[in-house]
């Protein structure tokens, strides 16, 4: 009887050989990609608006903020309304001294804007959405 030559390898050695060859292929492919193809980081804005009930200034501040966000943030924002008449203890966390006050929590650094947010240009500058004019 003739013995057949055994060509089969153990499952581990065959699997590791395949893994090594596929890792070589991946590294070659990665080397051929341009380094400048980076995914842009999507910024999500976290905003808190401190108000005191349904006063005209509070309503105006929310309306103005909503319009600014829709126009300049492209849907990448979250607004949290904090009514200090219902929860006055929350004013201490962001050191609120006047209302209405807008606090930009993210992106950092934290920024505060006091008032009804009717001056759109100042709000955009305060939120770092528009550079301040020099001169």
Question: What mean pLDDT is reported for the chain?
Answer: 80
Q: What is the pLDDT of residue 133?
A: 72
Q: What is the pTM of this model?
A: 0.67
Instruction: Read off the pLDDT of each residue in 87-109 and give the average, rounded to a whole number.
Output: 93
pLDDT band at 37 (very low <50, low <70, confident <90, very high): low
Instruction: Read off the pLDDT of each residue in 66-94 and give the average, rounded to a whole number.
Output: 94
Between these two residues, 11 and 130, which has the higher pLDDT value? 130
What structural domains and CATH numbers belong to the chain?
A: 45-126 (3.40.30.10)
Instruction: Examine the pLDDT at 34 and tell me if it is beyond 90.
Output: no
Between these two residues, 46 and 10, which has the higher pLDDT value? 46
pLDDT band at 39 (very low <50, low <70, confident <90, very high): low
**111 has which bridge partners?**
104
Task: List the Cα angle 84/43/100 in 5-degree steps.
Answer: 20
């Amino acid at each position: 009887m003739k013995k057949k030559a055994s060509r089969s390898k153990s499952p581990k050695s065959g699997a590791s050989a395949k893994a090594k060859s596929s890792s070589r292929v991946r590294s070659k492919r990665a080397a051929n990609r341009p380094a400048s193809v980076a995914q842009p980081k999507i910024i999500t804005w976290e905003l808190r608006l401190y108000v005191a009930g349904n006063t005209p200034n509070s309503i105006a501040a929310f309306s103005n903020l909503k319009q600014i966000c829709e126009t300049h943030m492209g849907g990448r924002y979250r607004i949290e309304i904090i009514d200090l008449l219902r929860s006055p203890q929350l004013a201490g966390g962001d050191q609120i001294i006047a209302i209405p006050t807008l606090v930009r929590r993210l992106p950092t650094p934290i920024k505060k804007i006091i008032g009804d947010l009717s001056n759109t240009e100042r709000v955009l500058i305060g939120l770092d959405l528009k550079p301040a004019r020099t001169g």
